[in-house]
A = this chain, B = another copy of it.
Amino acid sequence: MKIGDLSRLTGTRVETIRFYEKEGLIPAPSRTGGNYRVYDQAHLNRLSFIRRSRDLGFTLDQVRALLDLSDDRLRSCGAVDELAREQLRSVERKIEDLQALQRELASLLNQCSQGTIAECRIIEALAPG
C-alpha cells in the first residue's frame, strides 16, 4: 500500500500522514526501490485509531497516551476512562462557552435596526462606555 492508498482509506491527507510519522505516532514504514513508503495492515489500523481519536477531539498528546494504553492489554482501563472523561468535560465546557456567545450575538443582532453605523447597536455594544 502506498501513501496515497492509505490516505484514501483513512481520509487523511498525505502530508498529515508524513507529519504523523515525523511526530512518531506512526512507525516509519519500509520503502520501495524508488524510495516510496510502503504500508501494511498494521499501519492502517494504527492510523485509523489516530484519526478516530482525533475526531473525538483528543489532542495528539492524548492520542499518544491512548495508543500506549491500548498496547497494554492487561492493564486496567481506568486511565483510558479518565482521559475520555476529561475530554468530555472539556467538550462540555466549550459548548457552554459557545452557547453564552451565541446568546450574546443573537441578542445583538436582534437589536440591529439596519440604520447607520452611528446608531448601530452592535458597534455600540463593542465600544466602551
Contact = CB atoms under 8 A, between A and B. Distances in A.
Contact of A84 (B52, B84, B105): B105
A93 to B, nearest CB: 10
Interface string A72-100: 11111110110011011001101100110
Contacts of A70: 117, 123, 126-127
Contacts of A106: 88
Contacts of A92: 102
Chain A contact residues, majority secondary structure: helix
A7 interface: no
Contacts of A57: 98, 101, 105
Interface of A: 44-45, 48-49, 52-53, 56-57, 66, 69-70, 72-78, 80-81, 84-85, 87-88, 91-92, 94-95, 98-99, 101-102, 104-106, 108-109, 112, 114-120, 122-123, 125-128
